[in-house]
Amino acid sequence: MATTELTGAPERAEHTGITAPLPPVAAAALAHAEETLADMLAARHASTMTTYRGLSASTEWMAPAEFDRLLDVQDELAMRRKRLADTGHLDLIEGAA
């Protein structure tokens, strides 16, 4: 009777991180997508900043719900700023604070 020798799966080759360059059309499409994303993030930051300014302009007493909304908007501004920083596009909102 013949015996079958079982062996484990082959080990994965280490990935060196070197890949082929993107074709020019793909590189251009990627650059366009990144630029569009950055513009969208900056526009949303500006919109949120307008909301923040409107909420914080009140010189009267704030209801608890208004205060909570102001805190939420501050958190949203911080998140949007971080996303722009992560993509290297803080220059789009410089001076917007």
Separation CA 94–CA 72 (nearest Å): 22
In the predicted structure, residue 58 carries a pLDDT above the cut 90 = no
Contact residues for 27 (Cβ-Cβ < 8 A; gap 6+):
21
Give the start-end residues of each E strand in 18-71: none
pLDDT given for residue 94 in this prediction = 81
User: Is 24 domain-assigned?
Assistant: no
In the predicted structure, residue 29 carries a pLDDT above the cut 90 = yes
Total number of domains in the chain: 1
Per the prediction, the chain carries an average pLDDT of 84
User: Is 85 domain-assigned?
Assistant: yes
Residues spanned by the domain of 51 = 45-97
pLDDT given for residue 79 in this prediction = 94
pLDDT given for residue 59 in this prediction = 72
User: Is 81 domain-assigned?
Assistant: yes
Separation CA 73–CA 75 (nearest Å): 5
Separation CA 76–CA 53 (nearest Å): 13
